[in-house]
């Protein structure tokens, strides 16, 4: 007898056929998701996965973050892609299929697909409606490109549609999204990307480097309060997903660098005592108690290339900006 649940088995069969697993209706959590959210909220140190930032409003708020003066990663990475575009295209070679987990607004995909003359693009994102609009705009900008959207949670594995060509793939993972995972999870995700790339493909990945703490902390606690709104919005999203009654305005945004783990941590801190209820349960929070909502790891370049080699990539080539704030690495399968 196998211990695998019928649903997990269905997932496996669908994966084998190259089909995506069934998605619950938008805005309602599946049983697994609900269990994961509530278990996190009930831990002694309450926690919520950063993937719950990204409902429609959260995706829009994140886009606003990328334009903030304090938030350097997006514009530093874009400048790297432009400045070293020729060398990056050379390292990548003639990629045919660009696959972007967590594609979001597909802005970077447009530049990259043009740069490497891709014929196919597959964007994967947990915020499926937001992604579909972005893909529609991408098709207008690059009419020759076969572009498609896959709505999925990449931490549960990326299931590609069956007709995605299996040669010369480039997995594109920009924006320092890898920083959301702790190093063992990051390694597992990089191994999964190595599998997606097949034996003649590669990975082009952007990640954030350690730097002055004041620069880091300002980037995650901006003067206009956009990051604070982004952090609190996770509670509104969770309210819709599990039927809880969090009052987002009662939670303070906290963001600080943890030097021991080399990561920015974001938390929501109860402004006063909170009684939160959801169907079947709830939790009381004392004033000052926190929900840990995000980690954003900052890797020194040699540590990150070591991780890529552990994940099964062979050659790596890196580009960084003059200030040494951000890095882009191409890793060959």
Q: Which is nearer to ligand AVJ, 38 or 216 (CB)?
A: 216
Q: Which is nearer to ligand AVJ, 101 or 201 (CB)?
A: 101
Q: Which is nearer to ligand AVJ, 146 or 265 (CB)?
A: 265
CA distance 75 to 332: 25
Contact criterion met (CB below 8 Å) for 171 and 144: no
Q: Tell me: does residue 296 bind ligand AVJ (CB under 6 A).
A: yes
Closest distance of CB 160 from ligand AVJ, Å: 22
Span 60-99, contacts to ligand AVJ by CB under 6 A: 65, 73
Q: Tell me: does residue 221 bind ligand AVJ (CB under 6 A).
A: no
Q: Which is nearer to ligand AVJ, 33 or 208 (CB)?
A: 208
Nearest-CB residue to ligand AVJ?
296
279-286 long-range Cβ contacts below 8 angstroms, 24+ apart: 279/242, 279/243, 281/38, 281/42, 282/244, 283/41, 283/42, 283/46, 285/46
Closest distance of CB 300 from ligand AVJ, Å: 17
Q: Tell me: does residue 227 bind ligand AVJ (CB under 6 A).
A: yes
* DSSP calls for 106-171: -HHHHHHHHHTT-SEEEEEESSHHHHHHHHHHHHHH-TTSEEEEEE--GGG-----TTS--SSEEE
Q: Tell me: does residue 278 bind ligand AVJ (CB under 6 A).
A: no
Q: What residues contact residue 304 under an 8 Å CB cut-off, 6+ apart?
A: 207, 327, 329
Q: Tell me: does residue 294 bind ligand AVJ (CB under 6 A).
A: yes
Closest distance of CB 256 from ligand AVJ, Å: 12
Q: Which is nearer to ligand AVJ, 68 or 89 (CB)?
A: 68
Q: Tell me: does residue 274 bind ligand AVJ (CB under 6 A).
A: no
* Backbone φ, ψ for residue 96 (5° rounding): -100, -45
Q: Tell me: does residue 233 bind ligand AVJ (CB under 6 A).
A: no
Binding-site size, ligand AVJ (CB under 6 A): 11
Closest distance of CB 202 from ligand AVJ, Å: 21
CA distance 245 to 277: 6
* Backbone φ, ψ for residue 199 (5° rounding): -80, -15
Contact pattern from residue 155 through residue 184 relative to ligand AVJ, giving x for each residue in contact according to CB under 6 A and a dash for the rest: --------------------xxx-xx----
Which stretch of DSSP H or E encloses residue 287? none
Which residues make beta-bridge pairs with 121? 98, 147
Q: Which is nearer to ligand AVJ, 175 or 202 (CB)?
A: 175
Q: What residues contact residue 325 under an 8 Å CB cut-off, 6+ apart?
A: 72, 73, 76, 208, 209, 211, 215
Q: Which is nearer to ligand AVJ, 61 or 135 (CB)?
A: 61
Residues in contact with ligand AVJ by CB under 6 A are 65, 73, 175-177, 179-180, 220, 227, 294, 296
């Amino acid at each position: 007898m196998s211990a695998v649940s019928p649903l997990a088995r269905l997932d496996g069969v669908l994966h084998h056929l190259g089909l995506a697993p069934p998605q619950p209706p938008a805005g309602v959590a599946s049983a697994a998701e609900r269990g994961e959210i509530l278990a996190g909220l009930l831990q002694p140190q309450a926690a919520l996965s950063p993937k719950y930032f990204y409902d429609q409003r959260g995706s829009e708020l994140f886009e606003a973050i990328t334009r903030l003066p304090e938030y350097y990663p997006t514009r530093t990475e874009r400048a790297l892609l432009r400045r070293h575009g020729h060398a990056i295209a050379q390292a990548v070679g003639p990629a045919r299929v660009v696959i972007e987990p967590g594609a979001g607004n597909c802005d970077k995909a447009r530049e990259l697909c043009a740069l490497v003359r891709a014929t196919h693009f597959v964007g994967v994102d947990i915020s499926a409606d937001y992604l579909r609009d972005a893909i529609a705009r991408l098709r207008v900008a690059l009419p020759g490109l076969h572009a498609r959207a896959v709505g999925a949670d990449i931490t549960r594995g990326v299931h590609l549609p069956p007709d995605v060509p299996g040669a010369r793939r480039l997995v594109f993972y920009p924006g320092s999204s890898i920083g959301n995972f702790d190093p063992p999870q990051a390694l597992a995700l990089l191994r999964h990307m190595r599998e997606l790339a097949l034996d003649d493909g590669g990975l082009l990945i952007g990640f954030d480097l350690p730097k002055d703490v004041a620069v880091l902390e300002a980037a995650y606690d901006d003067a206009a309060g956009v990051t604070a709104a982004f952090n609190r919005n996770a509670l509104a999203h969770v309210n819709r997903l599990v039927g809880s009654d969090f009052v987002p305005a009662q939670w303070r945004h906290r963001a600080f660098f943890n030097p021991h783990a080399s990561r920015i941590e974001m938390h929501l801190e109860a402004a006063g005592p909170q009684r939160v209820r959801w169907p079947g349960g709830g939790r009381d929070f004392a004033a000052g108690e926190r929900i840990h909502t995000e980690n954003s790891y900052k890797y020194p370049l040699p540590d990150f290339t070591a991780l890529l080699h552990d994940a099964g990539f062979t050659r790596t080539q890196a580009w960084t900006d003059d200030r040494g704030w951000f890095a882009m690495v191409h890793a060959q399968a």
